[in-house]
């Protein structure tokens, strides 16, 4: 009997040790999985996302970044809206019920760049109602890590292409190709720039010595004195104009000048109105259609006459185109010149008067 009791007690101790190990193991798994407070009362909340993005059952639920509960399940929702494609059920201790209100928002976040996904709930305002057990929280979508990585890859690819283009441009510049390459490596351009700089330096030196027009303008005191004198004269004229002296002052201050100019403008306006109405000689010239027709016919006749003259028709045409008439006029002119020459030499020959008596 004593040996049987010893064997039974040994088996009991082994059973107790195994049970204690299982309890410790369960508690460790419970804490590792994010459970807080074994005997804490909990309530259920839900939210909806367009995608799970790595979220699974047992993931953490945080309120303002503080772990408070776990994700109980992630499943496809019964809604057809794309933004409510995934339903997330969460288990949260009732002690945090006062922190989660109707204006709270649930976001799907990631611990680090490639860490585990979790649900982060913002803290609600004190004036808002508390979300009841089984209630839904509004969700706010953030940038998906996959899209961020994809965009980053696109940016890196674009930077790589840009780098290749910059390397190509740099190679062309080093090879002396293109405008920039020639400016940097072409000795002729350098020589021209050096020559231009030397010419500019010589020009500045000449200006400093007072040579040339620009040098005289810069260094001649006479020009400065004349400029000062001109400014003084202008100031004197303006002073006289302000005090009412001189002709210019009268133009500025005499009301009769203004009245005369005003009357002249009125007369000019009256004359323009009369012209527009067709009154007076100028008005008839501007508005009379018959006069326009007559002038147009006259110009047409002049054109016809000019054409006939160019063709050699009529008296004027023959005078302008017949060489015989030109030669005859030349001969007559020569004969008249010879006659005048002889007349000047011996006028008595042509002025002698003979008298005969019968």
Cβ pair 67, 60 in contact under 8 A: yes
Are residue 72 and residue 122 in the same domain, yes or no? yes
Ranking 2-11, 104-113, 188-197, 272-281 by mean pLDDT, the lowest is 2-11
- C-alpha distances in angstroms, 255 versus 100, 116, 119, 149? 87, 94, 89, 84
Decide if 350 is inside a domain: no
The residue ranking higher by pLDDT, 54 or 343, is 54
What would the pLDDT profile of 184-202 be if each residue is shown by its tens digit? 766 777 788 888 888 888 8
What would the pLDDT profile of 112-129 be if each residue is shown by its tens digit? 656 788 889 998 888 988
**pLDDT value for 31:** 55
* Token pair in block for residue 213: 């027009």
Residues ≥6 apart with Cβ < 8 Å to 50: 82, 83, 84, 85, 86, 141
Are residue 23 and residue 81 in the same domain, yes or no? no
Distance CA 255, CA 9 (A): 137
Helix axes 212-219, 221-243, angle to 10 degrees: 60
Decide if 313 is inside a domain: yes
The residue ranking higher by pLDDT, 162 or 316, is 162
Distance CA 47, CA 135 (A): 8
Are residue 86 and residue 173 in the same domain, yes or no? no
* Token pair in block for residue 17: 């040790």
Cα-only R_g, the chain: 58
Are residue 318 and residue 300 in the same domain, yes or no? yes
Decide if 85 is inside a domain: yes
The residues that bridge with 27 in the sheet, in sequence order, are none
**Final residue of a structural domain among 107, 123, 142:** 142
* Token pair in block for residue 160: 């790589």
What is the number of alpha carbons within 13 Å of residue 277 lying toward its C-beta? Answer: 8
Compute the average pLDDT of residues 217-240.
77
Decide if 282 is inside a domain: no
Are residue 63 and residue 78 in the same domain, yes or no? yes
Are residue 138 and residue 45 in the same domain, yes or no? yes
**pLDDT value for 19:** 77
**pLDDT value for 90:** 92
Q: What's the N-to-C CA distance of the chain in angstroms?
A: 223
Decide if 318 is inside a domain: yes
pLDDT tier for residue 48 given thresholds of 50, 70 and 90: very high
Decide if 337 is inside a domain: no
What would the pLDDT profile of 235-259 be if each residue is shown by its tens digit? 877 777 677 666 666 666 667 767 7
Phi-psi region of 178 (alpha: psi -120 to 50; beta: other; left: phi over 0): left
What would the pLDDT profile of 78-105 be if each residue is shown by its tens digit? 888 888 888 999 999 988 888 889 889 9
Contacts of range 245-248, beta carbons closer than 8 Å, 24 or more positions apart: none
Are residue 53 and residue 94 in the same domain, yes or no? yes
Query: With 50 as the cut, is the pLDDT of residue 148 above it?
Result: yes
Are residue 124 and residue 157 in the same domain, yes or no? no
**pLDDT value for 117:** 86
Q: Is the pTM of this model over 0.85?
A: no
- C-alpha distances in angstroms, 345 versus 156, 212, 350, 351, 353? 114, 66, 11, 12, 18
**pLDDT value for 91:** 92
What would the pLDDT profile of 6-23 be if each residue is shown by its tens digit? 556 666 666 777 777 777
**pLDDT value for 26:** 63
Are residue 86 and residue 25 in the same domain, yes or no? no
Instruction: Please give the sequence-ordered ranges of beta strands (E in DSSP) within the chain, or none if there are none.
Output: 42-49, 60-63, 66-76, 86-93, 105-110, 117-121, 136-139
Decide if 349 is inside a domain: no
Average predicted confidence (pLDDT) for the chain: 76
Are residue 88 and residue 178 in the same domain, yes or no? no
The domain in which residue 80 lies consists of 41-142
Counting residues of the chain whose pLDDT is more than 70, the rounded percentage is 73
Ranking 27-41, 103-117, 294-308, 336-350 by mean pLDDT, the lowest is 27-41
Query: With 80 as the cut, is the pLDDT of residue 293 above it?
Result: no
**pLDDT value for 328:** 74
Distance CA 147, CA 51 (A): 13
User: What is the SS3 assignment for 21-81?
Assistant: HHHHHHHHHHHHCCCCCCCCCEEEEEEEECCCCCCCCCCEEEECCEEEEEEEEEEECCCCC
Are residue 45 and residue 26 in the same domain, yes or no? no
**pLDDT value for 34:** 47
| Residue whose entry in the numeric block shows the structure tokens 């002889």 | 342
Instruction: Specify the number of domains making up the chain.
Output: 4
Decide if 354 is inside a domain: no
Query: With 80 as the cut, is the pLDDT of residue 56 above it?
Result: yes
User: SS3 for 312?
Assistant: coil
Are residue 60 and residue 96 in the same domain, yes or no? yes
**pLDDT value for 358:** 47
């Amino acid at each position: 009997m004593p040996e049987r009791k010893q064997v039974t007690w040994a088996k009991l101790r082994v059973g107790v040790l195994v049970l204690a190990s299982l309890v410790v193991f369960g508690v460790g798994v419970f804490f590792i999985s994010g459970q807080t407070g074994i005997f804490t009362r909990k309530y259920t909340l839900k939210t909806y996302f367009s995608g799970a993005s790595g979220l699974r059952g047992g993931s953490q639920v945080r309120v303002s970044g503080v772990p408070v509960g776990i994700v109980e399940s992630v499943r496809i929702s019964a809604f057809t809206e794309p933004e409510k494609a995934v339903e997330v059920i969460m288990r949260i201790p009732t002690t945090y019920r006062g922190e989660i209100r109707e204006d709270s928002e649930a976001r799907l976040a990631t611990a680090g760049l490639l860490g585990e996904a979790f649900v982060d709930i913002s803290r609600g305002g004190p004036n808002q109602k508390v979300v009841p057990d089984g209630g839904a929280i509004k969700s706010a979508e953030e940038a998906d890590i996959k899209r961020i990585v994809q965009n980053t890859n696109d940016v890196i690819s674009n930077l790589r292409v840009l780098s290749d283009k910059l390397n190509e441009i740099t190679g062309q510049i080093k090879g002396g190709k293109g405008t920039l390459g020639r400016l940097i490596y072409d000795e002729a351009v350098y020589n021209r720039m050096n020559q231009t700089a030397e010419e500019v330096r010589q020009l500045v030196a000449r200006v400093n010595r007072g040579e040339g027009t620009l040098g005289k303008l810069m260094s001649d005191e006479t020009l400065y004195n004349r400029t000062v004198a001109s400014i003084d004269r202008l100031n004197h004229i303006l002073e006289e104009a302000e005090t009412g002296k001189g002709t210019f002052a009268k133009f500025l201050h005499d009301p009769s000048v203004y009245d005369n100019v005003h009357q002249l403008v009125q007369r000019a306006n009256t004359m323009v109105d009369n012209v527009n109405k067709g009154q007076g000689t100028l008005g008839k010239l501007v508005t009379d259609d018959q006069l326009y027709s007559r002038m147009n016919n006259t110009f047409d006749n002049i054109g016809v006459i000019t054409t006939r003259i160019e063709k050699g028709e009529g008296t004027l045409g023959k005078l302008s185109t017949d060489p015989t008439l030109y030669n005859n006029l030349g001969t007559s002119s020569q004969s008249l010149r010879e006659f005048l020459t002889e007349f000047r030499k011996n006028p008595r020959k042509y002025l002698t008067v003979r008298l005969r008596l019968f």
